[in-house]
Structure 1
Amino acid sequence: MHWLTLAVRQDWHTATDQSSTDLVQKIADIISTGKPSVNAPKILLVEDDVDITDLEQVVWAFATRSHPDVNRGPGPRALWCLDH
């Protein structure tokens, strides 16, 4: 399985002054217009307390922080916002 995993700063709420829905939509818009999304059926968005280069941490975050009933992002690919 291919995952595109992105991290945002933990203070993104104050830094961007956006809701989680708006932030995810903005990121989804940017990703969907470029090549990175072509081979990424799942896009994971985490805060930077998760080391996105460590597969074990990413899988742990996906297992403990994902909300499968909340499918965010346009199109057939899900953009999973892993909240804590």
Structure 2
Amino acid sequence: GDVVSHTIESVGSGGVHAYSLKAINTKLNVTGIGNCEVNTDNQLDVHITGPGTVSYKGKPETLKKDISGTGKLTSRN
């Protein structure tokens, strides 16, 4: 499906697998070892605390990232 924007909060070892949900704007807060997968085109705002990972599809025009710890942000295009 398609959405204008969405916000994801992942705490602990949870995961979000949302490559098939195409968003214009996405905001993610990952705390812990969570694994999140998103698809966004305009703005991607990522905050990772700990070893969590965020993988994204799409080509966001604006990419904001704040990573504390060993977390990773990876493009899957």
TM-score, normalisation: structure 2: 0.30
Larger radius of gyration: 1
Structure with the higher fraction of residues in helix conformation: 1
Q: Which has the higher strand share?
A: 2
With a CA cutoff of 8 Å and minimum separation of 6, indicate the structure with the bigger relative contact order: 1
| TM-score normalized with structure 1 length | 0.29
